[in-house]
Amino acid sequence: MKIGILGTGRMGVRLAIMYSEAGHEVVLGSRHPARAAGIAEKLDHPLLTGGGYRGALEAPVVLPAIFIRDGLLDQLEDMRDRLAGKILIDITNPFNDDYSDFVTPWTTSGAEQIAARLPRTRVVGAFKNVWWEVFDAPDFGGRRSDVYVVSDDDEARTEVIRLGAGTPFRHLDAGALVNARTVERMTLLSGELGTRYGFFPRMNYTLLGEPWTPGQADHTVGPLIA
């Protein structure tokens, strides 16, 4: 699969490396093509090339690595026709300038706002819960980090999970796009907790659990929800 990444910041470059190492052709795009080309040349991976946004937008899967506070929504609206029918992987959290809060209300999410602006685009939220530092060392004592994948397009959500094969992360089907509200807020919480306990930004969520069957343990009263 060919993936076009818009943006050469710390998330965009790390995702470009991750996907190319997983065997996907990646075009790293920048408003300044020479910058992206230079980064790709230094990384020296056969499946990774750098250039402008135009080349990245030719891919069937596009991943913008741009903050909403930096004008992502307006930039994407200018690309509306070129993004029609494509899968767009939204990784953004709507942080304010000092990362203390969001610029969106509780009743929506960054992913939903993108979907509203681009009704012909297949929007999938992913990597919203992953801080940039985790890409450099995603293994936590032998336990893989999770990526929560959300979308109202079941096939697109499945495709993004499939693209995660061969990456260091475990990709989980997290349901509908509305669940991006929860995932984004979980990231805001992890930032606060990580700062308080000295983990920031090396931290992530991992879903823990094991199968439960009725009568498995006599001393339990069973699941809270039947």
The CA-atom distances, in angstroms, between 71 and each of 51, 76, 92, 95 are: 21, 9, 12, 12
The CA-atom distances, in angstroms, between 115 and each of 10, 88, 118, 150, 180 are: 24, 9, 5, 12, 12
- Flag whether pLDDT at 218 surpasses 70: no
- The residue type found at 213 is T
How far is Cα 62 from Cα 90, in angstroms, rounded to an integer? 9
How far is Cα 184 from Cα 92, in angstroms, rounded to an integer? 8
E-assigned strands of 156-224? Answer: 170-173
How far is Cα 53 from Cα 64, in angstroms, rounded to an integer? 10
Which pTM was predicted? 0.92
Going by the DSSP 8-state scheme, the letter that residue 174 receives in this structure is -
Residue with tokens 């056969």: 46
Are 91 and 183 in contact by the 8 Å Cβ rule? The answer is: no
Which of 43, 41, 89, 96 is closest to 64 using CA atoms?
A: 89
- Flag whether pLDDT at 220 surpasses 80: no
- The residue type found at 30 is S
Grouping H, G, I as helix, E, B as strand and the rest as coil, residue 208 is coil
Query: Residue 224: its pLDDT value, please?
Result: 42
Dihedral-angle region of residue 96 (phi above 0 means left; psi in -120 to 50 means alpha; beta otherwise): beta
How far is Cα 70 from Cα 74, in angstroms, rounded to an integer? 9
User: Is the CA virtual torsion 215, 217, 221, 226 positive or negative?
Assistant: negative
Query: Residue 159: its pLDDT value, please?
Result: 98
Of the listed ranges 69-73, 137-141, 144-148, 191-195, the one predicted with least confidence: 137-141
Which of 12, 132, 146, 22 is closest to 72 using CA atoms?
A: 12
- The residue type found at 122 is R
Q: What percent of the chain has pLDDT over 90?
A: 89
- Flag whether pLDDT at 219 surpasses 60: no
Which of 110, 108, 114 is closest to 76 using CA atoms?
A: 114
| pLDDT range class, residue 199, cuts 50, 70, 90 | very high
Going by the DSSP 8-state scheme, the letter that residue 104 receives in this structure is S
Of the listed ranges 16-25, 120-129, 135-144, the one predicted with least confidence: 135-144
Q: What percent of the chain has pLDDT over 70?
A: 95
- Flag whether pLDDT at 59 surpasses 90: yes
What is the C-alpha end-to-end distance of the chain, expressed in Å? 41
